[in-house]
Structure 1
Amino acid sequence: MVIRYLLPALSVVAFSFAVLQMTKAQQKPPPVSPPVEPGTSPFGKQVAGAGIVEPETENIAVGTHVPGVVKAVHVRVEDRIRAGEPLFDLDDRQMSAELTVRESARDSAAAQLAKQEAMPRREELPPLEAKVLEARANLTDKLKQFERAKRETDSGVGATETFEVRQMAVEVARAQLRQSEAALDLTRAGAWKFDIAVSRAALTQARAQCDQTRTELDRLHVTAPRVRRPGTDRTRNPIPESDLVEFRVLQVSVRPGEYVSAASGQAIIVLGTVGRLNVRVDVDENDIARFKPGARGSASPRGEPGTRFPLSFVRVEPYVVPKKSLTGGNTERVDTRVLQVIYALDVSNPPLFVGQQLDVSLDTTAP
């Protein structure tokens, strides 16, 4: 009896549950409001783009000329520095020792050149002059002996062998006199001009090696670059101090004792100018035809659609580059290229940070 009524009841319950689930599945879920409302454009016709806040001189990623171990870091984030002020130093012990060796070689070459230019020494002449006098006296003695031997030979008293020996002795004495006189003349003439030229070239080479080592030593001490302020006279060289920008340290990614390499793209310290901020806007290649250089712009920070900053046109980067800041949209391709346009923020001290992303709208309404 129980089974007779239980099975139909279970069938009715199962059928009701299935109908209820199918009804719920066919219902559309209520729309979900986004956590942050997207930004709206103040222009009737506009081109939208993603913008990155950057300093007026762009981000200056300071690297190193040579690899090495960091000896000291002289700046911190938010420090304000001027051109030529030290940023960080690499270990310079080896180059300092090499400079000492090369300076010693330079001093030796300079001393050698000075010695040759000062020749002859006053003290060298008297001994040579005495040698000449001695050779002349010896020649006179040999001549007298030769004359005596000649008379003896002519009178038939002396031997022919003695005469020849005396004659050869005269020739030897004459040669010794010429040698002494030549040595005296050579000393009086001083150093040979070609020897002086060789010594001068050696000194020049030694000085150049010292300069080369100093240059290598200077490369171990990295300083802030010299950047001219926008709008200044570019024909003034060297750049006056008043035309140089003041930097703000945006990032320091190195500490003393760390090893740094000279690989491209490694930003050890990032600098930016103090003052006006710019926005680098990426205009999609599909919207380039609708973009008009000089168009007005407006930007709002991500997550703050109600906050807007007016933008003024600065310039167009004429080279279309691959897009780096991807939004993740379904229609976005990874091989998209963008035209980069630079706009300036027409607000003093905006509450923005360098590197912050902005939603940018550019007016395409015909004037």
Structure 2
Amino acid sequence: MKIRWLLVLSVIGLLIGIGAAIYYAQQSPPLPPVFQAAANPYATGIYANGIIESDQQSGANLNLYSEVSGTVARILVQEGQAVKRGDALIQVEDSVQRALTAQQQSQADALDAQLNALLAQPRKETLEVTRAQVTAADASLRTVQDQLDKLEAAARLNPKAVSRDAMDNAANAVRVAHGNLIVAQRQYELTRAGAWSYDIRSMQKQRDALQKGAAAAAALLDKYTVRAPADGIVMSVNTSPGAYVSPQGTYDAYTRGYVPLVMMSSGQSQLAVRVYVDEILVHRLPSNTVKARMFFRGTDVSVPLEFVRVQPYVSPKVELSDQRSERVDVRVLPLLFRFKQPDKLVVYPGQLVDVYLQGAS
């Protein structure tokens, strides 16, 4: 009885195995591709990698750095915001520099006030005082001169009426009073002449030096505000309030390197693509205008490119990891093209694209 059941189970298992083998041996039809792979549209086409950038007259995207070191106090823009040239983007903490600028400006203002006081000399009230001193000295001279004249008259009438000591004292008093009058007159003339030209020139130089120092401090204070160098769009802000920034940029914890504080583009309606042609294919490029077509990865969309210029320097290829310290032997020639934002797709600076260029026949 057991043998019969074992045979039955064996036959059932064999049938199941045969059925499974037949089922899995059948091939299902392939799924249609999500998008068509980029096809070479030219008979002598050259394939190259490209990266989308903002359309600049020269250079690539605008990478903005802080010219001073410090902590970020405020971020005044948002990503995707349109800005005008000179608009403030990021404010670095500037309390110390602001106080130093105010101090130097106050010193310059104080010395400027002293210079104006020199230029305003002689002061009317001071001139009146020196004139009064001349009058007083002249009166004193007349008083002692009268005393001397009286003593001399008395001595002529009776030589014994006036002692020799009294005559000498009176004569000395006249000489002292005469000297005081001369000093008062010279002081009046000095006051009326005003400030000495050398003193004015020296103070002018000091004033100018302090004003230039204050202007330099104010210029440095303005560096604490990162401003837009041109009209454009803020593509990315790579820092936050409280983060430390320097002329090297700001530290990125993900890449463990320094990156720009702000990246800007000139606008999104007109974009550019920088195409890197391998050095072994450079000789196949036409000598004048280069026709090209760009394909967006993951889509069936492609657009023609308008040739702008060749960057006439073959440089080492940079891998996508952006490891610039990596040793590479491949060198590439950059070409710049321009295109309009396609209607069917929104593209952004930084995207990688496939480009076919028409080679020389």
**Which of the numbers 266, 277, 283 marks the counterpart of 1:289?**
283
Aligned-partner SS, 1:181: helix
Q: Please give the per-residue CA displacement for 1:232-254, whole angstroms capped at 9, x wherever unaligned.
A: xxxxxxxxxxxxxx411111111
Paired letter, 1:188: R
Among candidates 204, 214, 220, match of residue 218 of structure 2: 214
- Quote the offset at 1:152 in angstroms: 6.7
Indicate conservation of the 8 Å contact 2:238/2:259, yes or no.
no
Give CA-to-partner distance per residue, 1:113-147, whole Å, 9 cap, x none.
22222222222233322322221222223334444
1:361 Cα offset (Å)? 1.2
1:351 paired residue among 343, 346, 361: 346
Aligned counterpart for 2:121 among listed residues 108, 119, 123: 119
Match of 1:324 in 2: 318
Structure 1 contact 320–339 (Cα < 8 Å) conserved:
yes
Match of 1:64 in 2: 66
After TM superposition, give the deviation of residue 210 of structure 1 in Å.
Answer: 2.6
Counterpart AA for 2:133: K
Offset, 1:290: 1.3
Note the residue ranges of structure 1 that are not aligned, 5 or more in a row: 1-33, 227-245, 328-332
Residue equivalent to 1:266: 259
- Would you say the 8 A contact 1:139–1:177 is kept in 2? yes
Cα distance in 2, alignment partners of residues 126 and 149 from structure 1? 35
Do structure 1's residue 313 and structure 2's residue 307 form an aligned pair?
yes
Q: 1:35 to 1:322 in 2, by over 3 A?
A: farther
Q: 1:129 aligns with which of 104, 125, 131?
A: 131
Which residues in structure 2 correspond to 1:64-213 (within 5 Å)? 64-148=66-150, 157=160, 158=162, 160-213=164-217
Matched, 1:298 2:293: yes
TM-score (norm 2): 0.77
- The Cα offsets for residues 255-301 of structure 1, whole Å up to 9 and x where unpaired, read as 11111111167311100021211110111111111111412111213
1:45 maps onto 2:26 in alignment: no
* Contact 1:310–1:347 (Cα < 8 Å) also in 2: no
How far off its partner does 1:161 sit? 4.8
- Counterpart check, 1:280 vs 2:274: yes
One-letter identity of the residue aligned with 2:124: R
Distance in 1 of aligned mates of 2:347 and 2:128: 88
Q: In 2, are the aligned partners of 1:300 and 1:360 still within 8 Å (CA)?
A: yes
1:204-251 deviations in Å (ceiling 9; x for gaps): 33332332222122111111113xxxxxxxxxxxxxxxxxxx411111
Q: For residue 259 of structure 2, give the secondary structure of its aligned residue in structure 1.
A: coil
* Distance in structure 2 (CA, Å) of the matches to 1:54 and 1:335: 25
**Counterpart amino acid of residue 44 in structure 2:** K
Letter aligned with residue 80 of structure 2: E
- Secondary structure (helix, strand or coil) at the match of 1:39 reads coil
CA distance in 2, matches of 1:137, 1:351: 100
Give, in angstroms, the shift of residue 36 of structure 1.
Answer: 8.6
CA shift digits 1:169-201 (9 cap, x unpaired): 322221111001111122222222222223333
Moved more, 152-161 or 246-255: 152-161
1:28-76 CA-partner distances (Å, limit 9, x unpaired): xxxxxx9997533111112221111111023111111101111110111
> Which residue does the alignment assign to 1:363?
358
Q: Tell me how far apart the structure 2 counterparts of residues 261 and 35 of structure 1 sit (CA, whole Å).
A: 46
Q: Alpha-carbon deviations, 1:299-334, whole Å to 9, x = none?
A: 213344x4322112110001221111369xxxxx81
Contact 1:310 1:346 in 2 (8 A): no
Structure 2 segments unaligned to the other structure (5+ residues): 1-32, 250-257, 322-326
Give the letter aligned to residue 46 of structure 1: G
Contact 1:53 1:354 in 2 (8 A): yes
Contact 2:297–2:354 (CA under 8 A) maintained in structure 1: yes
Partner of 2:3: none
Q: Structure 1 223/171 Cα, relative in aligned 2: closer, same or farther at 3 Å?
A: same
